[in-house]
Amino acid sequence: MSDTHCVGHRRDIAADITAKILASLNAGVMPWHRPWDGARTGPALPRRANGEIYRGVNTIMLWYASAARGYASPYWVTFNQAIKLGARVRKGERGEIVVYYGSAHRTALTAEGGETETAFRFLKSYAAFNADQVEGLPERFYPKPTDEARLPIAAHEQWFAKLEITRIMTRDLACYIPSRDVIGMPPLAAFDDAEAYAATLNHEAVHATAAPHRVGRDLSKRFKEAIAAEELVAEIGAAILGAHLRLPPDHIFDHAAYIENWMSLLQSDKRAFFHAAAQAQLAVDWLLAKSPAPDETDVQA
């Protein structure tokens, strides 16, 4: 079984994943929030066998699977990787779909008998198994439960300052104002706690990456429901960013209204979530490149 074996070449992968997301939203659950239900153990971000962090839609779907099945390990391996590591997937275990986009070129004959080449993108998938489904893996695949320290608000403020995004104080509304390229934030005292403030600021920082001189994101070119799509990007981005910064993804307060809009968006476009997750990842990449996540030594200094 090849590690890049397409496990669903006759299935509509995008439709299957969208159906899972819709079922979660219909139940009132945002799947990108699930890893923070209960105690966190080890790295919150799902990782490949070599420790590399998954990206985009794969992060969300593996979080979702871990929460649904109670997996404690953040590590995921393919069937062949398990064998190469001297381990084996337990009989009867089912893997989770991991997707990736690729690009290729197609050659066709023209009416004049010549050849023309066009580029196209394709979506493939393969199965990955959580380390908890595998016997015989090295001990590093099963990190011990830890009480990982949250990022202090002072350290988060230092992180945000390096982004060089202007912030102004507002009375009771957190927002990004594109026309002024500023983030408006109520005072810290208006929030339940410092983590809620930081998570909200993360959400608005993701919005701010849409500016042309940053990532340059204009979802109106892709979606009729561009506002709902942008909020989805900001929510997913804030969740992934929060994991890097050791903060919970806590922002949206009027869940019902947003969930209804997101369900409408996903129902009308089966690849909407893929696109939103990809854009969220680009936003997080920009933010962390501009201001890297503080490590524990930075926090203690």
- 127: phi then psi, degrees, rounded to nearest 5: -95, 135
This model's pTM is above 0.75: yes
Maximum Cα interatomic distance, the chain, rounded to a whole number of Å: 72
Tokens 């595998």 belong to residue: 134
The predicted pLDDT at position 299 comes to 46
Q: Are residues 123 and 67 in the same domain?
A: yes
Is residue 124 within 8 A of residue 102, CB to CB? The reply is: yes
Which of 14-23, 75-84, 149-158 holds the top average pLDDT?
A: 75-84
Residue 118 belongs to some domain of the structure: yes
Q: Are residues 280 and 164 in the same domain?
A: yes
pLDDT higher at 255 or 223: 223
Q: For residue range 99-154, what is the model confidence (pLDDT) as tens digits?
A: 987 666 677 777 777 777 776 666 789 999 999 999 999 999 998 876 566 789 99
Residue 5 belongs to some domain of the structure: no
Q: What is the mean pLDDT of the chain?
A: 86
Residue 92 belongs to some domain of the structure: yes
Q: Are residues 225 and 137 in the same domain?
A: no
Domain ranges, residue 107: 13-141
Q: Are residues 116 and 169 in the same domain?
A: no
Residue 148 belongs to some domain of the structure: no
Q: Are residues 293 and 213 in the same domain?
A: yes
- Choose the final residue of a domain: 141, 171, 200: 141
Q: For residue range 248-261, what is the model confidence (pLDDT) as tens digits?
A: 655 555 556 788 89
Q: Kindly report each contact of residues 152-157 with a partner whose C-beta sits within 8 Å and lies 24 or more positions away, as own/partner.
A: 152/194, 152/299, 153/188, 153/194, 153/195, 153/197, 153/198, 155/294, 155/298, 155/299, 156/198, 156/201, 156/245, 156/247
The predicted pLDDT at position 301 comes to 35
Q: Are residues 292 and 200 in the same domain?
A: yes
Please state, in angstroms and rounded to a whole number, the distance separating the CA atoms of residues 54 and 66.
14
Nearest Cα to 17, choosing from 60, 54, 75, 50? 60
Q: Are residues 136 and 170 in the same domain?
A: no
